[in-house]
Amino acid sequence: MFIENLNEMNQQRGQNSQHDQPDQYIFYAGDMKDVLNASFISKHGQPDIIITDPPRAGMHPDVVQTILQASPERIVYVSCNSATQARDLQMMDSAYEVIAVQPVDMFPHTHHVENIVLLRKREFSQTDSCQP
């Protein structure tokens, strides 16, 4: 299942999926903060993994909250702006831990780097909760 803000990207993905098993893919066009919400998750089920590649401005706080509510086991966060990625990761820190970080230099001889972070849901036990 794909959620993409740019409709032309969905069209390209649709064409590419024809070479694979097209009935396995569902494409949604729209802003993730508008598409990925509680009713979407209720209709399609809880995801096991979310791969997010937000714009340079990072994830909208509503999207972060929806991802936290969706509670996938893993999140792969791809970013071209490490500052907004760090901000977003901080918002998810209570529920997710960083497992791996991999910068990728896709634009040699420039200061631009894509950064990929793998997050895993934190495991909480009864002793972790703050009880009086």
The single residue of 29, 80, 91, 116 carrying the catalytic annotation is 80
Note if 80 is an active site residue. Answer: yes
Q: Which pairing describes strands 2-4 and 74-79: parallel, antiparallel, or unpaired?
A: unpaired
Catalytic residues: 80
